[in-house]
C-alpha cells in the first residue's frame, strides 16, 4: 500500500483532470494505492465502505450474492470508479468486486471525495456522467438478459469482450465458462454447448480460453436478433 502522487499520475480520471494542483495534493494525501492479483477481492459485499475505489489498471468483475446463487453484474475495465452508489447511498457495499487480472486500485477517502463534489462543479459533473453511463449499461444488460435467448446473450458477451475490453476479435477470455454463464444468466452447460456450436459452425475459433471471432457479422446478427 502506498500514497499516490496524484499530481503526476498519467492515468487520471476525467473527474480528476478537473482538479487544480492544490486539490490534487489533497487527493494524494487522502488516497492509498493497492495492488491486487487475479482472484483477490477488492470490495466485499455487505461490508461498510469509507472510500471510493478508482481502478487505475486491470480488469475487475462486479458480482453479487443472490438468494440461490451469485450473479456477475458487469466486467469493468480500467480506468473506472467503483463504489460510487455506496458512497452516496448508505455507505454499505451492495456488491463485491474481484480482480480478474493484475489490478491497481486507488482508494480515496469518501469525505475528501464528497468535498470535491461540493466544491468543484466540473468534478461533480464528470462523476455524474460516469454514474449515468454506468446506469445505462446496467439497463442495457437487464433488457438483454430479460429478452434475448441464450445464444444471443453469449454472442452479446463475446462482442463486449472483443469491442469494449480488448479492442480485438482475438483475445483470451478472462473468465471461466461458469463465470460467463453467471454474467449472461444461463447455465454452464448451456454456455459450453453454445461455444461448441459456434466453434463447429466456424463463427469462432476456440483454443482453450483463446477466442478468435471469425464471422463477426454473423455473431452480431445473432446478438441483435437474440
- Residues 45 and 117 grouped into a single domain: yes
Number of structural domains (the chain) is 2
- Residues 121 and 158 grouped into a single domain: no
Q: Please check whether residue 143 lies inside any domain of the structure.
A: no
Residue 71: predicted pLDDT: 85
- Are 193 and 151 in contact by the 8 Å Cβ rule? The answer is no
Peptide bond into 54 cis (omega under 30): no
% pLDDT > 70, the chain? 96
CATH of the domain at 24: 2.60.120.10
Per-residue pLDDT of 150-197, as tens digits, reads 999 999 999 999 999 999 999 999 999 999 999 998 999 999 999 999
* Angstrom distance (rounded) from CA 198 to CA 194: 6
Which domain, by its residues, includes 65? 6-138
Of 95, 119, 138, which one is at a domain's C-terminal end? 138
* Angstrom distance (rounded) from CA 168 to CA 65: 32
Residue 4: predicted pLDDT: 62
pLDDT over 90 at 130, yes or no = no
Of 138, 170, 203, which one is at a domain's C-terminal end? 138
Amino acid at each position: 500500500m502506498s500514497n499516490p502522487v496524484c499530481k503526476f499520475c498519467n492515468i487520471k480520471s476525467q473527474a480528476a483532470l478537473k482538479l487544480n494542483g492544490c486539490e490534487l495534493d489533497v487527493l494524494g494525501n487522502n488516497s492509498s494505492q493497492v495492488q491486487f492479483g487475479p482472484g483477490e477481492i477488492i470490495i466485499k459485499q455487505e461490508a461498510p465502505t469509507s472510500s471510493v475505489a478508482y481502478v487505475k489498471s486491470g480488469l475487475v468483475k462486479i458480482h453479487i450474492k443472490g438468494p440461490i446463487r451469485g450473479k456477475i453484474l458487469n466486467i469493468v475495465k480500467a480506468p473506472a470508479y467503483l463504489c460510487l452508489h455506496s458512497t452516496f447511498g448508505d455507505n454499505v457495499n451492495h456488491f463485491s468486486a474481484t480482480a480478474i487480472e493484475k489490478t491497481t486500485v486507488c482508494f480515496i477517502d469518501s469525505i475528501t471525495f464528497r468535498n470535491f463534489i461540493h466544491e468543484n462543479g466540473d468534478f461533480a459533473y464528470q462523476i455524474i456522467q460516469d454514474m449515468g453511463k454506468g446506469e445505462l449499461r446496467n439497463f442495457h444488460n437487464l433488457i438483454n438478459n430479460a429478452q434475448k435467448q441464450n445464444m444471443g446473450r453469449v454472442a452479446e458477451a463475446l462482442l463486449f469482450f472483443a469491442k469494449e475490453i480488448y479492442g480485438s476479435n482475438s483475445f483470451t477470455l478472462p473468465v471461466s465458462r461458469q463465470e460467463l454463464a453467471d454474467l449472461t444468466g444461463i447455465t454452464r452447460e448451456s454456455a459450453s454447448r453454445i461455444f461448441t456450436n459456434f466453434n463447429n459452425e466456424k463463427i469462432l475459433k476456440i483454443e482453450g480460453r483463446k477466442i478468435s471471432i471469425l464471422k463477426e457479422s454473423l455473431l452480431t446478427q445473432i446478438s441483435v436478433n437474440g
